[in-house]
Structure 1
């Protein structure tokens, strides 16, 4: 009979505890033995292969960087610059593989970084082979270029094994959700842009009215101006930009007590983005002190 492997875990529970007739629930910690699941050898093998691919990738980067850096060092006066440029060759196709990994659930999005990775890999292998050819060691250059190719092939196989393509209907659902979220994100940027534009317009009108002695937003075509009663237009006046409190005080002294009318006046002469609750709160405060 096969013995089941177990492991000890700590758990807790609330139990009643009474002292002098008073009972409270206290935390009781205890240990139990639970069955231990069998080792997942498939996961162990996949983890080992992924780790091996990572090590091979690092070795490939070091090897090709050294080879291409030595090649470029022939014409570049600064050695550090030559090896920094050589590092770019491998970093590009490694970045393409990283993007392919991020798109492993969407084969259509993963296709572009996969193709770009193969193109950049070919360029890097060509540079390594050119170093061997110009050094008079064509065979060594060919073998050296193969190192990067082997690393890329192994990573492609590992990525393909990790990839979990979605079925057609699920992929369409994911695309729709992604488009909806992208639309909301884009609208945030649009709203920020519109808010900045409105603030710029309000500041420009305030500056112009301050220079000319006229109240801001004196455009006769403004909808708010058209809706304002004639007697209210005669009573409201301002000589330039003012604070929200001053604008409310001016409106009250002119006989304007309607909260909506006071709010419109504040937004015209003081702050185009004045919050309604702030204006109403200040209005109530001024009425109490009047």
Structure 2
């Protein structure tokens, strides 16, 4: 059995002048080397070969279809459009790969890829026919067919189909996760709609900006200075709006502004954020 040397460490006691400390000690061990997984190696090699063949197929079909389309338009546009023919069925194969655990979802990209391949092969054959070289056109179309066939076989080897019960369980879990994800956007939309309705109501009723009045002089207010009354919030408020509202209501103490922001805007607001916003607003005014 083949082995390989592995460096490991362990804590060992080490004493100097009567004081013992635990230190790391390195040592080597021989561990068995697992046998080579030839199946995996062969599959990786075939996948790499399929990738190379696919790249060559794209180059050939782009050159062929691009030359065909260049008869009717400028060459850059013709060759750019020619790349679409192969990129469509290659993209469908990528989607089929992503759905390799769900055969029902993989069926649509597989069928679409076959149709896209047939159209690309027909375009390559048409290029040969237009140039009085039908045989070359047919052989060139076969290149795309062989590349697609090889990729189909490779994907079948990589696919891991699930049994019926496991597939139902996966579908149920996917549906629950998808529902929770969808509710994020739905709640955001509802919150936005409710905020717009509330803002419209406030604008129509004329309540906006009606903040409580505070004494202009110390004689009009209480004899002992107290923190101004907390203004009533109107509609959804951002952190910046809450700071402005507090300042306009006469609340100048940073701690009082912070408490007001947490009460009417964001219960999880950070003190440094409120302080920074307060400083920016005062500097701007």
* TM-score, scaled to structure 2: 0.74
* Counterpart in the other structure of 2:120: 124
Separation of aligned partners in 2, 1:149 and 1:245 = 72
Q: Equivalent of 1:34, from 9, 31, 34?
A: 31
Provide the secondary structure at the position in 1 that maps to 2:22. strand
Gaps of 5+ in 2: 212-229, 236-241, 252-259, 270-285
User: 2: distance between equivalents of 1:192 and 1:48?
Assistant: 48
Alpha-carbon contact 2:99-2:105 (below 8 Å) kept: yes
Partner secondary structure for residue 27 of structure 1: strand
Q: Does 1:53 align with 2:50?
A: yes
CA distance in 2, matches of 1:172, 1:92: 30
Offset at 1:249?
A: 7.7
- CA shift at 1:273, angstroms? 6.1
Q: Which residue of the partner structure matches residue 73 of structure 1? A: 70
Residues 212/182 of structure 1: CA separation in 2 closer, same or farther (3 Å cut): closer
| CA 20–88 in structure 1, closer or farther in 2 if over 3 Å, else same | same
Q: TM-score, normalised by structure 1?
A: 0.73
Q: For 1:1-290, what aligned pairs fall within 5 Å after superposition?
A: 4-76=1-73, 78-210=74-206, 245=246, 274-275=265-266
Instruction: Give yes or no for contact 1:199–1:272 (8 Å, CA) kept in 2.
Output: no
| Shift in alpha-carbon separation, 1:247–1:191, aligned structure 2, 3 A | farther
Contact 2:125 2:137 in 1 (8 A): yes
Structure 2 counterpart SS, 1:104? coil
Compute the displacement of 1:11 (Å).
1.3
Partners in 2 of 1:145 and 1:15 — Cα distance?
A: 70
The whole-number CA distance in structure 1 between the counterparts of 2:41 and 2:267 is 63
| Mapped contact 2:124–2:141 kept (Cα < 8 A) | yes
Which 5+ residue runs of structure 1 have no aligned equivalent? 216-235, 251-265, 279-290
Cα distance 1:12–1:143, how it changes in 2: closer, same or farther (>3 A)?
same
- Contact 1:104-1:165 within 8 A present in 2 as well: yes
1:214-242 alpha-carbon deviations (Å, 9 max, x no partner): 68xxxxxxxxxxxxxxxxxxxx998x998
* Structure 2 Cα separation of the partners of residues 198 and 272 of structure 1: 20
Which residue pairs with 2:255 in the alignment?
A: none
Tell me the alpha carbon deviations over residues 233-276 of structure 1, each in whole angstroms, 9 at most, x when there is no partner.
xxx998x99855379889xxxxxxxxxxxxxxx9xxx9996346
Change (3 A) 1:115 1:17: same
**Residues 271 and 33 of structure 1: is their aligned pair in 2 closer, same or farther, counting only changes over 3 Å?**
closer
Are the equivalent residues in 1 in contact too, given 2:262–2:268 (CA < 8 A)?
no
Contact 1:93–1:116 at 8 Å: present in 2 too?
A: yes
